[in-house]
Amino acid sequence: MSRPIPIVHNVIFQLRYKSELSFFDLLYGAAQKFPEFANWQTDRLSLTLRNFNERRSLTISHNMLAYRQDSSDPDLEKASIQKILAELPEGLGIESFLRLGYRKQYLVPLRMAFESLLTILQVKLLSQNEDLRVVLPEKIVDLTYRIDFAESDDQFHLTAGAARKDEIPLFLTFDRQNHLKPEVADEE
């Protein structure tokens, strides 16, 4: 029996920094270092660069930049984040960050009934202590497991759980506005 392999469906990389007035003079020059994003949209306060073919986008605003990729290409993810870190802090005059966020969302395809997976997760992840079990209702209909970790000033969150196919869009959001060409978005 082969082991199921987690598949990355969504990557979000975000940097937050102190807002500086000089940002507005630097924004468009810094953005021009990313010609691989052929489409763009601006409200003059922020700029979103889009690459519909690779389903990725980069939003640059006065206090934050965010890279998002709706594909499972690890080389593209790595190269994009490295380029962002190499070009944008200097290009935008950013000297330090207030927060760094990095999120990856995976799906693990399984060939078993939801109820079977739920039973396994219940036994593995929920205490089987009888004193605890008697105060809980008898039937568990769903289960999500979240662990929050900390190491010095860094925090990490892990969330895992079973999902039915029709529930996936609730947990795994696709950036339709920035990753699909408007003229074919409904079909795709």
CATH number, domain with residue 60? 3.30.310.10
| Boundary residue ending a domain (105, 120, 152) | 105
Q: Which amino acid appears at position 15 of this protein?
A: L
Average pLDDT value for residue range 30-48? 95
- Residue 2 is assigned to a structural domain of this protein: no
List, for residues 150-178, the tens digit of each pLDDT value. Answer: 999 889 898 888 888 898 888 888 999 99
Same domain, 72 and 114: no
Tokens of 49: 């660069």
Same domain, 113 and 25: no
Same domain, 93 and 11: yes
Same domain, 27 and 40: yes
Quickly tell me which residue has 């219940």 as its tokens.
122
Distances 63 to 11, 33, 46, 93 between C-alpha atoms, Å? 20, 19, 10, 12
- pLDDT at site 106: 92
Q: Does the structure show a pLDDT above 80 at 1?
A: no
Same domain, 120 and 81: no
Range in 5-19, 69-83, 85-99, 150-164 the model is least confident about: 150-164
- pLDDT at site 39: 96
Same domain, 86 and 161: no
For residues 51 and 41, what is the distance between their CA atoms, to the nearest angstrom?
A: 12
182 or 1, which is more confident: 182
Distances 96 to 66, 89, 177, 178 between C-alpha atoms, Å? 16, 8, 30, 28
Same domain, 88 and 54: yes
- Residue 42 is assigned to a structural domain of this protein: yes
Task: Work out the percent of the chain whose per-residue pLDDT is above 70.
Answer: 99
List, for residues 129-147, the tens digit of each pLDDT value. Answer: 888 888 888 888 888 889 9
Same domain, 31 and 87: yes
- pLDDT at site 50: 98
Quickly tell me which residue has 């102190």 as its tokens.
18
Residues linked to residue 142 through DSSP beta bridges, in sequence order? none
- Do 107 and 168 contact (CB within 8 A), yes or no? yes
Q: Does the structure show a pLDDT above 80 at 121?
A: yes
- Label residue 73 by pLDDT band (50, 70, 90): very high
Host domain of residue 152: 109-167
- pLDDT at site 126: 80
Same domain, 86 and 141: no
- Do 158 and 149 contact (CB within 8 A), yes or no? yes
Rg (CA), the chain: 21
- Residue 184 is assigned to a structural domain of this protein: no
- Residue 124 is assigned to a structural domain of this protein: yes
Q: Does the structure show a pLDDT above 90 at 44?
A: no
Average pLDDT value for residue range 84-104? 96
